[in-house]
Structure formats: structure tokens, C-alpha cells
Structure 1
Amino acid sequence: MIVPGARTNAEIKGQVLTRLVQLALRWIFDDQPIGRLRTLLALIEQVQDKDTAVAILESLLRYYVQGTQRIEEHDVRELLQQSTSTGDPIMQTFIDRYIEQGVHQGVQQGGAAMLLRLIERRFGPPSEQVRERVTRADPNTLLQWSDRILDANSLDEVLH
């Protein structure tokens, strides 16, 4: 029996997602970004589909942390830790992914910094183009270039 005015699961899910997007956009330059983010996290917990919830959470945090640079990453980590005290599997899955991304990014940044230092010591200060190329390189490419710097006679031999 269908109750008049009753909403389907899809309609409710759509309303939560719509509300999330609207609030995220409205609150992006709010004076209390952490408080607003806490409210958005509570809405995300209402999304039944775990994969959808995690994807939303990733996008939202990327928007708040990287896009606007109004929230520091350590604040987000602390907020997420507080949110997982209830044992919510969606938040725990996201935290695992977020930490893994942070580790991967740290490895890449450390490798790029080390290679740039080696390039400078061996061939002199690198150009801005070389710096940008190195900082955007993936960890495997950085490892290959780091191996090549030992025997290369020129920077061109390292990077090609």
C-alpha cells in the first residue's frame, strides 16, 4: 500500500544530496567552516549508499581543503576522528582512504623534493619548468629519474 505523499528511497536520497550541495555552496565562505563541515558530515551519514557517501565526502573535503584553502588538513583529520567515534563504517572507510591518499601524497612530495635537491647539486638550480615537471611526476617516475641522476651527464638524460 502506497501512502499518499510518501517519498521513495530515491526521492529521499536525492533530497539529502541536493541539500548537501546547496549547503556546501552556501556555507563555503562562512565564518565557521569547521562547524559547517560538521553539519555536512552529519548529512553525509544519512546517505544509505556507502560508495556514494564516500565519493561525496571526498569531493566535499577536497573542495573545502584544497579548493578554498579555508580549512587545514589537520583540522579535517581531527573532525573526521571525532565523527568516527560512533563507529560509522562510511566514515571509517573514508578515513582509511584519506590517510592512504595522504601517505601517497607525502611520498610523492618527499621524492620530488629530494630529486630537486639532487638536480641542483649536480646540474645547478633547475628552471621553473623542471621544478613543475618534477613536482607533478608520480612516485614511479621520480624513482626512475633518481636512479638516472647517478650516471647522467646532463639534466636532459635524467628526465628523458
Structure 2
Amino acid sequence: MESLLRYYVQGTGRLDETQVRRLLEQTLSGEPLMETFIDRYIAQGEQRGEQRGEQRGEQRGEAKILLRLIERKFGPPSETVRHRITAADSETLLEWSDRILEAQSLDEVLH
């Protein structure tokens, strides 16, 4: 079983050596290994999903604010501009949000 876990760790990188040791120690104390392994794997997936959801939520909020600022300063943005903004990552949105303060045109904001 230990060999199988080591193979999984090295192949996927989803668990580190310390986590595998803990799983094995729990098994020695009487807790079923596969249940522990599966529970831990599911918990990690849930945690990653929550983190991605939070990041995506922040990105949507940033895009919404930038679109509002653009509309107030330059008028309603085209669908192309809306799509570009909603598809941008948080770092890019922050950069564009900084530029809008001094930009004289929408082109200056997005380039």
C-alpha cells in the first residue's frame, strides 16, 4: 500500500510525503487506509474548488466595477470590450483600473 501511495504522490503531486506518512500512521492505528485516503483527496478537491470560486467571484466583481467606470467616463462599452474585460485576470483588471484614472480614451486604458 505504501508503494502505491508513493507512486500516486510522485505521479500527481497532489499529496506530499508528509501527508502520506500521516495516512500510513493512521492506518497503523486501526483507521482504514482507503477511506482516509479518499476522504483527504475529496477534501483537497473541495478546498481547491472553493479557492477557485472565491478567485472567480473576485474577478467578476473587479470586472463589474471596471465596466461601470468605463461607462461613466467613456460611455457604454462595446460587446467586444465587455468580453475582453470579463475574460481578463485580476492582475490585468487592476492595471486597467489604475490607468482609467488618467486615461483620455478607452484605448489608453486597455493598452
With the shorter chain as reference, the TM-score category is 0.5 to 0.7
Q: Whose radius of gyration is greater, 1 or 2?
A: 2
The alpha-carbon deviation at position 49 of structure 1 amounts to 4.2
The alpha-carbon deviation at position 115 of structure 1 amounts to 0.3
When the two structures are superposed, what TM-score results if normalisation uses the length of structure 1? 0.47
Gaps of at least 5 residues in structure 1 are 1-47, 55-86
Gaps of at least 5 residues in structure 2 are 1-6, 15-37
1:120 aligns with 2:71: yes
Report the Cα distance in structure 1 between the residues aligned to 2:57 and 2:45, rounded to whole angstroms.
18
Report the Cα distance in structure 1 between the residues aligned to 2:106 and 2:60, rounded to whole angstroms.
20
When the two structures are superposed, what TM-score results if normalisation uses the length of structure 2? 0.66
CA RMSD of aligned residues (A): 2.0
Report what 1:37 is aligned to: none
Alignment of 1:10-159 (within 5 A): 49=8, 88-159=39-110
Report the Cα distance in structure 2 between the residues aligned to 1:49 and 1:92, rounded to whole angstroms.
17
Report the Cα distance in structure 2 between the residues aligned to 1:130 and 1:112, rounded to whole angstroms.
11
Report the Cα distance in structure 2 between the residues aligned to 1:100 and 1:154, rounded to whole angstroms.
35
Report the Cα distance in structure 2 between the residues aligned to 1:143 and 1:121, rounded to whole angstroms.
18
The alpha-carbon deviation at position 148 of structure 1 amounts to 0.4
The runs of 4+ residues in structure 1 deviating greater than 4 Å are: 48-52
